[in-house]
């Protein structure tokens, strides 16, 4: 349970929104809500009976916080542990965006990947999500989570928002889940209380406006901008909405929110732009804010002309993916697959942003053999019939990168699975089994309990 919130926090709330301060303060002393979002490309059924998060198609509440690390299905990318309020992005995007179209989306502040995994699942295969994180070690965590989510339509980059500003009018959806003072998460992460000051709220507000100004140019005409924080403070929310409406040619988008959900609709003080506030005493979720805009000026880039590639060179080697509509890129002996519609975008982006993951990394080409990469095992459409199903204890040993004992007379590469979901690769050498689970993803904790 969390400790008491600073009194000054109330002074940063918008004055025109009436909330019951006492009920709000009480809610901070209760346990945070636990929720997950399922991966629609890796369907599992163990949560079918759980309560739905009302504003997110794949969101589920859990009654308590289990040992997520002890669940092999988490490592297989079958679900993502995500705070329920922030799943409201699902509702907003389904309302505002036509996902049948080919789209370019950018999630600018993406680590560890909650919003990016959500967006990747909404986009069709021809569309592209560039999931970006400016801080290098956080970009690695983002890369791991996007790898496990297993979609070909996602790249991961490690660039400053300014570099995105150079992708003029290329982006149909720009999502900015901005770094903030974090007051909405006090109940979940009590440590945030120690760093909270009014000065920091104002610094965050300035940084949020700077990120918006730096990146805004990448948005195409009619493109959607979604701005979010997990702060309660007006300076980081409605005042930023006013800045957006004053500085850019955009219109504020109103969302048809169900009154029963307990979400508070606000309007910014000067330009009356809509925003959506989440208070923990009014709904099952933590503090959160979201506002959406549609760009009215600029132009649209047509970047989806597909590249045709002759696959003869790879035909027999790459039997584990359907090569239709894919192009294979070779970089330092590594093979990766991207959608053939993304080639032109790649050419435009290469000199502007630092891309650390493109589509799906397939493997290393060594003499005429492909040594498979973990990313290939995680790809939701991997084709590999040689599979071995593991028990819970075997799966956890595998995920800890321990030696595992498996009865199989078939030599060579196998996909190991848990509840039929791929966890990674092993190689049976006859006298022993090599565990190819990536070192940096392995479970480190010794006394991990099964889920």
Helices H / strands E in the chain, number of each: 13, 21
Which of 5, 93, 204, 211 contacts ligand SAM by CB under 6 A? Answer: 211
Residue 313 neighbours by CB under 8 Å, 6+ apart: none
Near ligand SAM in 144-163, by CB under 6 A: 161
Residue 332 neighbours by CB under 8 Å, 6+ apart: none
Which of 73, 87, 111, 301 contacts ligand SAM by CB under 6 A? Answer: 111
Return the range that interacts with ligand SAM (CB under 6 A); candidates 30-38, 107-115, 293-301, 388-396. Answer: 107-115
Interatomic CA distance for residues 82 and 39, integer angstroms: 12
In SS3 terms, 389-410 reads as ECCHHHHHHHHCCCCCCCCCCC
235 binds ligand SAM per the rule CB under 6 A? no
Return the range that interacts with ligand SAM (CB under 6 A); candidates 105-113, 147-155, 286-294, 351-359. Answer: 105-113
Query: Given the complex with ligand SAM, which of 113 and 363 has the nearer CB atom?
Result: 113
Radius of gyration of the chain (CA): 23
To the nearest 10 degrees (0 to 180), the angle between helices 238-247 and 198-215 is 30
Interatomic CA distance for residues 57 and 236, integer angstroms: 28
Query: Given the complex with ligand SAM, which of 112 and 280 has the nearer CB atom?
Result: 112
Interatomic CA distance for residues 236 and 297, integer angstroms: 25
At closest approach, how far in Å is the CB of 266 from ligand SAM?
20
361 binds ligand SAM per the rule CB under 6 A? no
At closest approach, how far in Å is the CB of 216 from ligand SAM?
13
Interatomic CA distance for residues 133 and 234, integer angstroms: 25
At closest approach, how far in Å is the CB of 215 from ligand SAM?
8
Return the range that interacts with ligand SAM (CB under 6 A); candidates 109-117, 355-363, 398-406, 414-422. Answer: 109-117
Taking a C-beta distance cutoff of 8 angstroms, is the pair 285, 258 a contact?
no
Q: Which strands form 369-372's sheet, in the order they lie side by side?
A: 326-331, 334-339, 360-366, 369-372
Binding mask 120-139 for ligand SAM (x = CB under 6 A): -------------xxx--x-
At closest approach, how far in Å is the CB of 165 from ligand SAM?
12
Active site residue 56: no
Query: Given the complex with ligand SAM, which of 177 and 234 has the nearer CB atom?
Result: 177
Angle at 325 between CA 321 and CA 328, to 5 degrees: 60
Taking a C-beta distance cutoff of 8 angstroms, is the pair 362, 373 a contact?
yes
Looking at 78, 218, 230, 349, which residue is catalytic?
230
CA nearest neighbour of 239 among 231, 10, 107, 92: 231
Interatomic CA distance for residues 309 and 441, integer angstroms: 33
109 binds ligand SAM per the rule CB under 6 A? yes
Query: Which of helix, strand or coil describes residue 303?
Result: coil
Which of 179, 190, 262, 306 contacts ligand SAM by CB under 6 A? Answer: 179
DSSP strands (E only) in 101-152: 104-107, 128-132
At closest approach, how far in Å is the CB of 68 from ligand SAM?
15
At closest approach, how far in Å is the CB of 161 from ligand SAM?
5
Q: How far out from the chain centre does Cα 435 lie?
A: 28
Residue nearest to ligand SAM (CB): 114
Backbone angles phi, psi at 214, to 5 degrees: -65, -35
Q: How large is the greatest C-alpha to C-alpha distance in the chain, in angstroms?
A: 73
Return the range that interacts with ligand SAM (CB under 6 A); candidates 97-105, 112-120, 291-299, 396-404. Answer: 112-120
Return the range that interacts with ligand SAM (CB under 6 A); candidates 106-114, 367-375, 403-411, 439-447. Answer: 106-114
Query: Given the complex with ligand SAM, which of 185 and 341 has the nearer CB atom?
Result: 185
Which of 110, 173, 257, 283 contacts ligand SAM by CB under 6 A? Answer: 110
Question: How many CA atoms are closer than 13 Å to the CA of 285, on its beta-carbon side?
Answer: 26
Taking a C-beta distance cutoff of 8 angstroms, is the pair 74, 81 a contact?
yes
Applying CB under 6 A, what is the total number of residues that bind ligand SAM? 16
Return the range that interacts with ligand SAM (CB under 6 A); candidates 37-45, 108-116, 289-297, 427-435. Answer: 108-116
Which of 37, 60, 75, 115 contacts ligand SAM by CB under 6 A? Answer: 115
Enumerate the active-site residues. 230
> Under the rule (CB under 6 A), what is the footprint of ligand SAM?
109-115, 133-135, 138, 161, 177, 179, 207, 211
């Amino acid at each position: 349970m969390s400790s008491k919130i600073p009194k000054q926090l109330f002074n940063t709330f918008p004055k025109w929104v009436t909330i019951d301060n006492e009920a709000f303060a009480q809610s901070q002393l209760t346990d945070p809500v636990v929720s997950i979002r399922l991966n629609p490309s890796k369907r599992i059924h163990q949560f079918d009976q759980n309560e739905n998060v009302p504003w997110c198609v794949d969101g589920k509440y859990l009654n308590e916080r289990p040992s997520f690390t002890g669940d092999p299905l988490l490592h297989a990318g079958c679900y993502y542990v995500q705070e329920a309020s922030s799943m409201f992005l699902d509702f907003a995007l389904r309302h505002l965006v036509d996902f049948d179209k080919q789209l370019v989306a950018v999630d600018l502040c993406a680590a560890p990947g909650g919003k990016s995994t959500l967006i990747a699942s909404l986009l069709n295969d021809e569309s592209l999500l560039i999931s970006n994180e400016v801080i290098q070690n956080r970009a690695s965590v983002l890369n791991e989570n996007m790898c496990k989510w297993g979609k070909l339509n996602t790249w991961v980059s490690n660039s400053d928002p300014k570099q995105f500003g150079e992708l003029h009018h290329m982006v149909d959806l720009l999502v900015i889940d901005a770094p903030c003072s974090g007051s909405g998460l006090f109940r979940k992460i009590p440590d945030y209380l120690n760093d909270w000051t009014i000065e920091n709220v104002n610094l965050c507000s300035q940084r949020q406006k700077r990120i918006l100004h730096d990146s805004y140019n990448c948005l195409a005409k009619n493109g959607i901008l979604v701005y979010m924080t997990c702060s309660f403070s007006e300076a980081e929310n409605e005042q930023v909405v006013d800045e957006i409406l004053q500085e850019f040619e955009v219109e504020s988008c109103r969302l048809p929110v169900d009154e029963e959900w307990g979400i508070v609709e606000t309007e910014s003080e000067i330009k009356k732009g809509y925003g959506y506030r989440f208070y923990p005493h009014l709904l099952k979720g933590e503090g959160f804010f979201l506002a959406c805009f549609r760009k009215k000026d600029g132009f649209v880039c047509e970047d989806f002309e597909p590249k045709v590639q002759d696959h003869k060179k790879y035909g027999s080697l790459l039997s584990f993916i359907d090569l239709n509509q894919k192009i294979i890129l070779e970089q330092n002996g590594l093979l990766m697959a991207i959608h053939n519609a993304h080639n032109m975008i790649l050419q435009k982006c290469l000199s502007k942003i630092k891309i650390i993951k493109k589509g799906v990394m397939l493997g290393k080409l060594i003499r005429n053999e492909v040594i498979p990469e973990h990313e290939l095992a995680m790809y939701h459409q991997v084709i590999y019939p040689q599979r071995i199903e593991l028990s819970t204890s075997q799966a956890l040993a595998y995920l800890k990168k321990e030696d595992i004992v498996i009865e199989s007379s078939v030599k060579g590469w196998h996909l190991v699975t848990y509840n039929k979901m791929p966890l990674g690769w092993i190689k049976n050498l006859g006298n022993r089994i090599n565990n190819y689970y990536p070192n940096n993803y392995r479970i480190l904790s010794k006394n991990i309990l099964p889920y």
